[in-house]
A and B are shown apart, each in its own frame.
Chain A
Amino acid sequence: MDAEPRTLAELAHALRSGAVTAAETTERCLSTIAARNASLNAFITVLADEARAQARQADAEIAAGRYRGPLHGVPVSLKDIIDLRGVATTAASRVREGHIAAADAPVVSRLKAAGAVLIGKNNLHEFAFGTTNEDSAFGAARHPLDANRSPGGSSGGSAAAVASGMAYAAIGTDTGGSIRIPSAACGLVGLKPTLGEIPTGGVVPLSPTMDHVGPICRSVEDAQILHAALGGAGSAARSPASRPLKLARLHDDFTALLDPAVASAFAQACTRLREAGVELCDAIIPHAGDIAPVYLHIVLVEAAAYHAPTLERAADAYTPNVRMRLEMGRYILAEDYMRALHGREVLRTEVDSALTGCDALLLPTLPILAPRLGVETVRVGGTEEPVRGAMLRLTQLFNLTGHPAITIPCGMSPEGLPIGAQLVGRLGETAALLDLARAVEGYLGPGASR
């Protein structure tokens, strides 16, 4: 085959037709890893021998007519917080030294059943508790387009791997935006399904009531394939809507503080959607100002509860920033956690209301561009704020409420850094959101995507 397949879906067609083999595709990914992982630090563990064996098996099965589906023979990587039997799950932490997973996480079992080639395990922000991937026992992952910048996080190594061609897709986790943030920063598609839709067993928890597992990939079609393979509900193909799409843009807190390049790209994306016949209306979340306090009081308490034993036993094994964040959670009063749970229900109702009368919500994914490594604060719209707070600002709401959300590329900054737009669907309707996102991706055009 002359041209390398760009997306997982294109690769699947090529593998099935015999235009390429899983073995040569896997070898190409391993070559990219060999060439670029020293600088990008996207992988903690590379499973070269295992991947080659899986690829050979996939080729043999496909040749024998036993095609399992579109993941068969496709190199996929796992965020190193997801258990793969017989391999360490480091969570990018020295706290986990010596750990070997005794069993596959359910999502891994499903990938194996689908015939995916599991090529390795990706770097992340320690225990998924951060947005830049800088606090990792294995060093920071770096952005494929600018090694002085973060690829986002916490699934930063996963996004760097997919964006640089080390894998065709990666499985990440998202507790405040950890799939969508790095996907947007690296010009990829990232899906956070509905809360509870994809099993989180065998995944080191951060905040069990907000943790989601989902794909990072190069197109919405790829996300549909992975969503179905991971067990997402209602993934059967649907007929397109017979009326124009209607999207509600979230305003006020969601658009007030954006990097000028993000604001410009998002505005241009809205123009392209209008030109394509999409109806745009405006919506607000009345208590948007309460999102961050509500989120903080839930994530800190739930993370501290999980880590309490190791904070007592091996506190020095954590990176300092993550340790301090976990310690904060130990001081939150139960009454304030309960208040936050109440606030979460208020916000869930408000997102449901915002979705009334439209097909999905539309907002930017990240208010800033991929941040430079080592930077603690960022100035947006004349306001200085911590990088972490800024990066979570537009994504964490939907971890609280559980609504499915997907980021798709919507443009580039003048310096060539990707910018993402986020679409949010109704609870339990991830498949419908994916259908809609595929249409929107088409309206935005290939120039928006890597």
Chain B
Amino acid sequence: MTITLWLENAVQDAERRGLPALRPLLETLARATSALRMADWNADASGQLEPHRPDGR
């Protein structure tokens, strides 16, 4: 799931649950998740298309 889509879903759910104050925290979390996924020790998990790895990993 892309971070954009994750954030959209999370904010919608928080508002549905009556927690609009969660939005700025979720936006901060989205930035942290983006940093986590972009760390160079990580496989690319941005959710964008990526080349197929022949070894299946």
Residues of A near any B CB (own CB < 8 A): 287, 289-290, 292-294, 296-297, 300, 320, 324-325, 327-328, 331-333, 335-336, 339-340, 342-343, 346
Chain B contacts for A300, CB-based, 8 A = 29
The closest CB in chain A to the CB of B17 belongs to A327
Within the complex, the shortest CB–CB distance from B21 to chain A, in Å, comes to 6
Q: Are B32 and A343 in contact (CB under 8 A)?
A: no
CB contacts (< 8 Å) of B45 on chain A: these are: 335, 339
Q: Provide the residues of chain B in CB contact with A320, threshold 8 Å.
A: 21
Contact A328 B22 (CB under 8 A): yes
Complex: how many Å from CA A287 to CA B35?
12
B22 touches A290 (CB 8 A): no
Question: Which one, B6, B21, B35, contacts A333 given CB within 8 A?
Answer: B6
- Cα(A328)–Cα(B14), bound, Å: 9
* A333 partner residues in chain B, CB cutoff 8 A: 1, 6
A296 to B, closest residue via Cβ: B32
Q: Does the CB pair B32–A339 fall under 8 Å? A: no
The prevalent SS among residues of B at the interface is helix
- Candidates A331, A332, A343; contact of B39 at CB < 8 Å: A343
| Contact across chains for B10 and A293 when beta carbons are under 8 A apart | no
Per-residue A-contact encoding for B9-32, CB less than 8 Å = 1, 0 else: 010011000010110011001001
20 chain-A/chain-B pairs, Cβ below 8 angstroms: A287-B40, A290-B36, A293-B33, A293-B35, A324-B19, A324-B21, A328-B25, A331-B10, A331-B13, A333-B1, A333-B6, A336-B33, A336-B37, A339-B36, A340-B36, A342-B41, A342-B42, A343-B36, A343-B41, A346-B41
CB distance from B32 to the nearest CB of A (A): 4
A52 to B33, CA, bound (A): 52
* Contact across chains for B19 and A287 when beta carbons are under 8 A apart: no
Bound-complex Cα distance A229 to B38 (A)? 44
**Which of these, A287, A290, A331, A339, contacts B29 with CB under 8 Å?**
A331
Chain A nearest Cβ from B24, distance in angstroms: 9
B26 with A331: CB separation less than 8 A:
yes
Enumerate chain B interface residues (CB-CB to A < 8 A). Answer: 1, 6, 10, 13-14, 19, 21-22, 25-26, 29, 32-33, 35-37, 39-42, 45
Please name the 5 residue pairs, one residue from A and one from B, whose CB atoms are nearest each other, closest first: A293-B36, A293-B32, A293-B35, A331-B10, A290-B39
- Taking a contact as CB atoms under 8 Å apart, the answer to whether A297 and B33 are in contact is yes
Pick the residue among A290, A292, A293, A327 that contacts B19 (CB under 8 A): A327
- Given A324-B19, A324-B22, 18 new contacts (CB under 8 A): A287-B39, A287-B40, A290-B41, A293-B35, A294-B36, A297-B36, A324-B21, A325-B25, A327-B14, A327-B25, A328-B22, A328-B25, A328-B26, A331-B26, A332-B33, A333-B6, A335-B45, A336-B33
Give min CB distance, B19 to chain A, whole Å: 6
Q: Are B41 and A287 in contact (CB under 8 A)?
A: yes
What is the bound-complex CA distance between A154 and B41, given in angstroms? 31
> Among the listed B21, B29, B37, B41, which residue makes an inter-chain contact with A332, where contact means beta carbons less than 8 Å apart?
B29
Decide if B41 touches A296 in the complex (CB within 8 Å): no
A324 and B28 alpha carbons, distance in the complex (Å): 13
Q: How far is the CA of A294 from the CA of B40 in the complex (A)?
A: 13
Partner of A292, one of B10, B21, B32, B42: B32
Bound-complex Cα distance A304 to B2 (A): 22
Instruction: Quote the shortest CB–CB distance from B38 to chain A (angstroms).
Output: 9
A300–B32 Cα gap in the complex (Å)?
A: 12
Cα(A293)–Cα(B30), bound, Å: 10
Whether the pair B42, A343 counts as a contact (CB closer than 8 A) is yes
Complex alpha-carbon distance, A300 and B33, angstroms: 12
Partner of A327, one of B6, B22, B37, B40: B22
Give Cα A346–Cα B10 distance, bound, in whole angstroms: 29
- The closest CB in chain A to the CB of B24 belongs to A324
> Which chain B positions have C-beta within 8 A of A331?
6, 10, 13-14, 26, 29
Closest to B35 in A: A293
A289 to B38, CA, bound (A): 11
A296 to B25, CA, bound (A): 12
With CB as the reference atom, state the residue of chain B lying closest to A386: B28
- Distance between B54 CB and nearest chain A CB, rounded to angstroms: 22
B9 CB to closest chain A CB (Å) equals 8
Rounded to whole Å, the gap between the CB of A350 and the closest CB of chain B is: 10
Do B25 and A290 have beta carbons less than 8 Å apart? Answer: no
Kindly state the separation between the CA atoms of A340 and B45 in the bound complex, as whole angstroms: 12
User: CA separation between A324 and B10, bound complex, in Å?
Assistant: 13
Instruction: Provide the bound-state CA to CA distance between A340 and B42, in Å.
Output: 9
Return chain B residues, CB-CB under 8 Å to A340.
36
